[in-house]
Amino acid sequence: MTPTLGRRMGAELIGTFWLVFGGTGAAVFAALFLTADKVQLGIGFVGVALAFGLTVLTGAFALGHISGGHFNPAVTIGLWAGKRFPAKEIPYYIIAQLVGAVVASGLVFAIASGKPGFSLVASGLAANGYGDHSPGGYSLLSGLLGEIILTFIFLVIILGSTDARAPKGFAPIAIGLGLTLIHLVGIPLTNLSVNPARSTGPAVVLLTGGASWAFEQLWLFWVAPIIGAIIAGYAYNAVAGDQPVELKS
């Protein structure tokens, strides 16, 4: 029996909360950690990439059987393009995902503000950005192309590993490792999004604290992932053939 829409929205809210809290929390709290002797014990880019991957892996195992484990508006739209998800339920999933992301970012800020000297604006809350706000100084065009390509690959991994013809039970592992790998590629470009909700959470919290840059650049982190996801949905079916089982409401 398919869970009710309300229960599936609850699962999406919790899963997206975990993705944003675990991923951006790792970046804010643990990416850089210096001892009193100035020894770096932080997890760095690799650790943050792994944190994002692990949130999706664990979240998919814990909640995927309830909602499908999207935790990402681009995934929801990509699955619709791939004929795996009904269009009429897209807004409900996205609302739940956005609520989870904003709550997670607010709690990351609340915890981080307990450290003496913490500055919301200076920390950036691991927000996504391009140009002056790209970790590597990459341009808008570089960020746009990177987000489209990496979201495309992420959706291909999701569509392929959840295909009824694929080996059963391994999809969360493939998806989590795939997200880790694309973060290793994309963090220097934009802090990597491939997830509009993940980008919206920090941008909203930063805006409430007087920093508007992340909100002003947020459009890219909606447009690029959605483009990449839609292309992937159609491309996967063109290569692999239509999915035999279609998720219905």
pLDDT over threshold 70, residue 188: yes
pLDDT over threshold 90, residue 40: no
Q: Which residue has the higher pLDDT, 34 or 152?
A: 152
For range 160-168, the mean pLDDT: 95
| pLDDT, tens only, 216-233 | 999 999 999 999 999 999
pLDDT over threshold 80, residue 151: yes
| pLDDT, tens only, 55-94 | 999 999 999 999 999 999 999 999 999 999 999 999 999 9
pLDDT over threshold 90, residue 239: yes
Looking at residue 35, its pLDDT comes to 78
pLDDT over threshold 60, residue 247: no
| pLDDT, tens only, 93-133 | 999 999 999 999 999 999 999 999 999 999 999 999 999 99
Looking at residue 246, its pLDDT comes to 46
pLDDT over threshold 70, residue 36: yes
For range 178-199, the mean pLDDT: 98
Q: What are phi and psi of 3, to 5 degrees?
A: -60, 155
What is the distance between the alpha carbons of residues 202 and 196, in angstroms, rounded to a whole number?
A: 11
pTM for the predicted model, two decimal places: 0.94
Looking at residue 242, its pLDDT comes to 65
Q: Which residues neighbour 240 within 8 Å (Cβ) at sequence distance 6 or greater?
A: 159, 160, 163, 165
Percentage of residues in the chain with pLDDT exceeding 90? 92
